[in-house]
Structure 1
Amino acid sequence: MRLRRSVVASAVGVLIVALGAACSDPPPPGATDLVDPGTPAPKPSPTPSLPAGPLSGQPLTQPGVEARQALAVPIRVSESGTATGLDAADLVYQEFAESGSLHLSAVYQSRDAAKIGPVAEIRPVDIRSVGVLRPWLGYDGGPTGFVSQLKAADLSGVTPAQRSSAFPGGNTSTTALRATAPKGGAAPAPLFDYATTGTALATRDVAPASKLTVSASGHRTQTWTYDQAKQQWSGRVGKTSVTAASVVVLTMEYRTLNVRKPSPRSLPSANVYGKGAALVVSGPSSAKAQWSKPGQKLVCNVTDLAGFQVRPQPGTTWIVYAPTTARVAVT
């Protein structure tokens, strides 16, 4: 028995020596070299998720953007005119102005635009629409009374008369406006509770939608159509094609304002304080709703007919102030 154990031990020793020699000798032709993989490379840490823009509901692409102040720019568009920079806005407020033109209040916070314009004068609708957002404004002056209202509302901004370099050719940009803004501006609070996957636009009165029309006296009918492939609503202002994730139509009274300085004239003005009927299209859906805005420093709440907040899709929201005499239809 002892002899057998010795033979086995000798055989194991020979095998170990042979293996050691094999490791030190070059491999025979046709053999495969095995390389020590070493320490495995560390797995990359997951990309930190960024918050959504407060006025768009869309995930941001750069850190810190959620904390920056909003910018607001009034834009005047005639029936034959063009506008730039609107698709980069988080919010666009639309007022039916005189002579078939539109007065727009474009708000930028989550995205930038290299060219915005044509920049228009300040009007009461701008102050009342964007005041709750506490933005820095870029505007082309305005009647004495309107400028006084702007100051009384504790809102600030810059004009071409103050900084002509920020308004080349009657236009501006988010970069130029931010360069003129004082430090310390606060970020705006969200205006809407944006939809997530599977969230309905409203709790009731939701219907399929592919076309929205708004017909106001003295203006061309404005038509919005839903592009299923792009999941966007497309429309036109003047000669400019625009898109939005959602279009919110708020029906309200208009009144006539008589301006004296610097030149006498009359112009229509939407009364954005109060409450009234609303219609919202977002994604492939529409919903009847109602709106309420008690004052400048309060948010305009848009709720469905059951009293719950509507939930538009993330992206640009276009808010149309429709006169009570306008015809609003959705199919």
Structure 2
Amino acid sequence: MRHRARTRRTVLTAALAAAVLTVSLTAGCTRHGTADDGRAPQGTTPAPGGQSAAGPVLAVKIDNVAAARPQTGLDAADVVYAEQVEGGLSRLMAVYATRLPGVVGPVRSARESDLELLRQFDRPTLAFSGAQRKLLPLIDEAPLVPETPDRASAAFYRGTDRPAPHNLYLRPAALLPEAPGRAALTTGFRYGPAPAGGTATASRTVRYPMARFTFTWSADRHRWLVSMDGTPARTTAGTRLAAATVVVQYVRVSTSKYHDVLGNYTPFTETVGSGKAEVLRDGRSFEATWARPAATDGTTFTGADGGPVDFADGPVWVVFAKA
């Protein structure tokens, strides 16, 4: 296990060293303020073919324990990734390309898995509260733009509605001049009509040791309504979180060398490789396989007939489950 971990870290470090960022990252205190939702109008459509991205995507690490809910600005994300962290809990990474909400949060710390996941984007901006000290050199070497309260103090603030550490918020406009557009979402996802077949599905639950996600189909909204730990998920403005497409992606999860202050080791979620997946859209479930040959590639999904599985237009939630 230790040999595999050392090998993975060596490969990751070598691959990232080509774009070294000399940034000092630590978690710190920020100024206080009051959170607002700042939502943009709902609805996004794929960019026309050939349209260029105006810049990098914004990825934000989002707190997801009960004390951090409801979150702010999560409904504006184009893609939400859910992964297991220490103690069997969950954390989210929200990716913004087509619109930037006024405020996002609560913002929490980065993980080693984030570096591999974000390699699919072109120098993305990663907003997070800080990271485990031994992980900071890898973040410094990664081909991304790391933004923390110490680096961009004007972009972050502490809300007064809940105690720390669940009250750190980000103003995305302070980091990006504008939303880069759909072309910046180099995830490999395809959007189009639903494939043939599939199984009618009313709801789907994915469980971690100490967390669970449930997606319930709403024919009225034509969306999968999100619940977390048995409770309907809403934003601070009261908007019910919903996805047009949900992906349950089965991945290898190993133990990294990093751990929290209680000694709980961080799971490493491997998003490069291949495996089984389940794609939920239009009230149906489709069996699929996923493939991401290299870290710089997006992830493709193939159906049982050998053809690509297209996603429905709108927000995508990807839940990483242990294979």
Decide: shared fold, TM above 0.5: yes
Q: Secondary structure at the match of 1:119?
A: coil
What residue number does 1:45 align with? none
Residue 208 of structure 1 is aligned with which of 178, 181, 200? 200
Q: Secondary structure at the match of 2:117?
A: helix
* 1:105 pairs with 2:83: no
For structure 2, the residue ranges without an aligned partner over 5 or more in a row are: 1-42, 159-167, 235-240
For structure 1, the residue ranges without an aligned partner over 5 or more in a row are: 1-55, 325-331
Residue 172 of structure 1 is aligned with which of 158, 170, 173? 170
CA drift of 1:280 comes to 0.5
Instruction: Give distance in 2, aligned partners of 1:111 and 1:188.
Output: 12
CA drift of 1:177 comes to 2.0
Change (3 A) 1:263 1:80: closer
Change (3 A) 1:68 1:260: closer
Cα RMSD (Å): 2.8
* 1:187 pairs with 2:184: yes
Instruction: Give distance in 1, aligned partners of 2:134 and 2:119.
Output: 17
Report the more deviating stretch, 143-152 or 156-165: 143-152
What residue number does 2:26 align with? none
Residue 90 of structure 1 is aligned with which of 78, 100, 112? 78
Instruction: Give distance in 1, aligned partners of 2:125 and 2:147.
Output: 8
User: In 1, are the aligned partners of 2:81 and 2:93 still within 8 Å (CA)?
Assistant: yes
What residue number does 2:54 align with? 67
User: In 2, are the aligned partners of 1:95 and 1:269 still within 8 Å (CA)?
Assistant: no
Per-residue Cα deviation, 1:217-270 (whole angstroms, up to 9, x for no partner): x22432110111111111123663321111000011211223279996512221
Instruction: Give distance in 2, aligned partners of 1:65 and 1:298.
Output: 18
Change (3 A) 1:81 1:100: farther
Please tell me the residue identity of whatever aligns with 1:121.
Answer: S
Q: Secondary structure at the match of 1:168?
A: strand
Per-residue Cα deviation, 1:151-192 (whole angstroms, up to 9, x for no partner): 3332122110112221111110321221599x9xx9343522
Per-residue Cα deviation, 1:266-310 (whole angstroms, up to 9, x for no partner): 122212222111000012221000111223211111111222221
User: In 1, are the aligned partners of 2:214 and 2:228 still within 8 Å (CA)?
Assistant: no
User: In 2, are the aligned partners of 1:66 and 1:110 still within 8 Å (CA)?
Assistant: no
Higher RCO by CA contacts (8 Å cutoff, separation 6 or greater)? 2
User: In 2, are the aligned partners of 1:250 and 1:322 still within 8 Å (CA)?
Assistant: yes
* 1:219 pairs with 2:210: yes
Report the more deviating stretch, 230-239 or 163-172: 230-239
Change (3 A) 1:207 1:109: same
What residue number does 1:146 align with? 135
CA drift of 1:207 comes to 1.9
CA drift of 1:59 comes to 5.4
CA drift of 1:57 comes to 6.4
Please tell me the residue identity of whatever aligns with 1:154.
Answer: P
Sequence identity percentage: 28
Instruction: Give distance in 2, aligned partners of 1:137 and 1:75.
Output: 11
What residue number does 1:228 align with? 219
Instruction: Give distance in 2, aligned partners of 1:180 and 1:125.
Output: 27
Instruction: Give distance in 2, aligned partners of 1:109 and 1:159.
Output: 20
Instruction: Give distance in 2, aligned partners of 1:102 and 1:260.
Output: 15
Instruction: Give distance in 2, aligned partners of 1:130 and 1:79.
Output: 26
User: In 2, are the aligned partners of 1:74 and 1:126 still within 8 Å (CA)?
Assistant: no
User: In 2, are the aligned partners of 1:160 and 1:166 still within 8 Å (CA)?
Assistant: yes
Instruction: Give distance in 2, aligned partners of 1:261 and 1:319.
Output: 25
Q: Secondary structure at the match of 2:63?
A: strand
User: In 1, are the aligned partners of 2:120 and 2:187 still within 8 Å (CA)?
Assistant: no
- Give the TM-score normalised by the residue count of structure 1: 0.70
